[in-house]
Structure 1
Amino acid sequence: MNSLLPQEFATAVIVQVAMDEEAAPFLELTEPAADDFGVGVAQFYPRTLNTAGTTQPVLLVRSKIGLVNAATALTTALGLVSHPAAVLSAGTAGGLHTSINVGDIVIGADYTYTDADATAFGYEYGQVPGMPARYQASESLLEQARAAAQVYTGEGQVRYGTMLAGGSFVTAHNVKDTREIFPEALSTDMETTALAQICVSRDLPFISVRGVSDLCGPAADQDFHMDAPIVAARSAQLVTALINTPA
C-alpha cells in the first residue's frame, strides 16, 4: 500500500477532516503530488504545500463522520506515512461554551469524550477505562498554533482549550448536561478525541483546529449557524499557517 504515495511522504503531515466540504479548502490551498485514492469509505489526497520556497508533503484524509470512521482512516494513513511530522484534525465543530460564537476557531489544548461514562468504576466522566482522562495536544504544535494565530488574517476569534468528541450530536436539548459535566469545554465534534487517543498511544504529535459552524445551545441574541464551507476555510487557513510555522 505504501506504493500509493511518493517516497517523500514517509514524513508527511497528516491532515484529517470528516466531510468533503471540509476537504475542499485544503485542496485549493495545496497542489497534487500523486493520484487520489480511496480505502473503504475514506478518501486520501496526497498534496504538497508550497510556501516561501519550501515544499511540505501533506496527506489530506477525508474520513466521513464519526469516531470509528475517523479512527479507521487515521490507522490506514499511519500505514502509509511511517513517520508523520504531525497529525492535525481540522474542519468544523459545534460551539459548546457560552462565550463561543459561530465563526470562531477553536484550537484544542486537551481532548476527552463527551459521552464516555465509567464513573461507576471510579473513572472520570469522559474517560475510557484504562486510558487517560484527557489527551493532551503536542506542546510544540500548540506553540506553532499560537504563532500562526498571530499572523492569521481571517475572521473569527481564535480560542484555546478543551475539545470534546462523542457518538452523539450535542444540541439545545441536551447541552445543559454536557455543560454541567464539562464547564470548561469550548467545542464538540464526532472525531477529534478518537484521533487524539491514537496519536497519544503512538507518541505522535497531534493537535485539532476546528471552526465553529453551529452553537449547541445559543443565547437568544446569538447567531447559531454558519455554512460549513465558510468555517472550514477558516480552519484550513490557520492549519496551513501552522504547518508553515517553524517548530
Structure 2
Amino acid sequence: MDEEAGPFLDKTEVAAQDFMVGEAHYYPRTLKLENSDVPLLLVRSKIGLVNAATAFTVALELVPNPRVVISAGTAGGLRQDINVGDLAVGLDYTYTDADATAFGYVRGQVPGMPEKYSTSAELLEVAREAAADYQGEGNVFVDTMLAGGSFVTAHNVKDTREIFSQAISTDMETTAIAQVASSREVPFIAIRGISDLCGPAADQDFHMAGEIVSERSAQLSTALIARLVQSETHWLREENND
C-alpha cells in the first residue's frame, strides 16, 4: 500500500523516473550510506498473493540478481505474545489457508511444493544482528510468518493458532514472494510491522496506524541493507588483502 511504501521513499533518493507495470508501481531509488550508495528498486504491489507474485516476477526481470529481497510493510499479529507496534522478521514462510491434507500434504503446503520457504542461515544471521541493534519502538520477533488469501480474524484465529503455533504474523503477500524467490534462488526475508492483532486479549491494543509500523519496518529493513553492504565490503577488503 502507499502508506507502506512511504517510509522507504522518505529514506531514499530518486534514481530514475518511477513507472507502473499493470497494478504495480516501481520506484528506482538510492539508499545513501556513509561510504556507499546502494541502488534499490522499491515495488508497491498492491494487496494479495497474485499481485505480489506478479509484481515481484516483473521486478526480477528488471533486477535479475538482487543482493536481497525484502517484503516490508505491515502485517497482522498472530501469536499471543506479540503486540501492535512490534516487528516480525521471517524465519520461514507458509500459507495460512492452503489445505491439501486429504492428499497427504501438511497444512499450509501447496501440492508439489515445499512445506515451507526459509530465509537462508547467512541472511538470517545478519538480520538478527540488525534486530539486536534496533533502537526503535516495539520488540522484534523472529519466527514463522504466514500469508494467505483471507484475513485472519478473531472468528478464525483459534484454528490458525493451533495449526501454526509458532507463527508470529499473517499478511496477504509474503509467502507468495518467498515462493517466487525460492524458485529463482534469490535471497529473501520479510520484515513487517504489526499494525493489527488477529485475536487480541482483553488488555491488548488491537490496532496501530499503518504508517507508524511501516516506518519501523523501513527502519529495520534499511539497517539490514546497511549491514549487508558493510559485511560485503569487509569480505571484499579481506579478499583484496589476500
User: How would you bin the TM-score normalised by the shorter chain?
Assistant: over 0.9
State the AA in 2 paired with 1:233.
E
Secondary structure of the residue aligned to 1:101 is coil
Question: What displacement does 1:68 show?
Answer: 0.1
1:95 aligns with 2:74: no
Question: What displacement does 1:53 show?
Answer: 2.0
State the alpha-carbon separation in 1 of the partners of residues 113 and 185 from structure 2.
14
State the alpha-carbon separation in 1 of the partners of residues 48 and 41 from structure 2.
20
State the alpha-carbon separation in 1 of the partners of residues 126 and 39 from structure 2.
18
Secondary structure of the residue aligned to 2:8 is helix
Deviates more, 1:196-205 or 1:142-151: 142-151
State the alpha-carbon separation in 1 of the partners of residues 101 and 74 from structure 2.
29
State the alpha-carbon separation in 2 of the partners of residues 169 and 98 from structure 1.
17
State the AA in 1 paired with 2:70.
L
Question: What displacement does 1:151 show?
Answer: 2.1
Out of 24, 28, 33, the residue aligned to residue 15 of structure 2 is: 33
Deviates more, 1:75-84 or 1:64-73: 75-84
State the alpha-carbon separation in 2 of the partners of residues 81 and 140 from structure 1.
21
List 4+ stretches of structure 1 deviating above 3 A: none
1:52 aligns with 2:34: yes
State the AA in 2 paired with 1:91.
G
In structure 2, the gaps of 5 or more residues are 232-242
State the alpha-carbon separation in 2 of the partners of residues 106 and 163 from structure 1.
8
Question: What displacement does 1:148 show?
Answer: 1.1
Out of 77, 81, 92, the residue aligned to residue 110 of structure 1 is: 92
TM-superposition CA deviations, 1:85-127 (whole Å, max 9, x none): 1111000000000001000001000000000000000000000
Out of 108, 120, 127, the residue aligned to residue 138 of structure 1 is: 120
Q: TM-score, normalised by structure 2?
A: 0.93
State the alpha-carbon separation in 2 of the partners of residues 59 and 40 from structure 1.
16
State the AA in 1 paired with 2:6.
A
Question: What displacement does 1:143 show?
Answer: 1.3
Number of positions where the alignment pairs a residue of Structure 1 with one of Structure 2: 229
Question: What displacement does 1:209 show?
Answer: 0.3
RMSD: 0.7
TM-superposition CA deviations, 1:60-91 (whole Å, max 9, x none): 00000000000000000001002111111000
Question: What displacement does 1:149 show?
Answer: 1.3
Out of 150, 158, 180, the residue aligned to residue 198 of structure 1 is: 180
Question: What displacement does 1:132 show?
Answer: 0.4
Q: Which residue of 2 aligns with 1:120?
A: 102
1:63 aligns with 2:40: no
Q: Which residue of 2 aligns with 1:153?
A: 135
State the alpha-carbon separation in 1 of the partners of residues 216 and 210 from structure 2.
10
Q: Which residue of 2 aligns with 1:207?
A: 189
Q: Which residue of 2 aligns with 1:240?
A: 222
Percentage of pairs with the same residue:
69
State the alpha-carbon separation in 1 of the partners of residues 135 and 28 from structure 2.
27
Q: Which residue of 2 aligns with 1:16?
A: none
Q: Which residue of 2 aligns with 1:3?
A: none
Q: Which residue of 2 aligns with 1:75?
A: 57
In structure 1, the gaps of 5 or more residues are 1-18
Question: What displacement does 1:196 show?
Answer: 0.4
Q: Which residue of 1 aligns with 2:205?
A: 223
Question: What displacement does 1:144 show?
Answer: 1.4
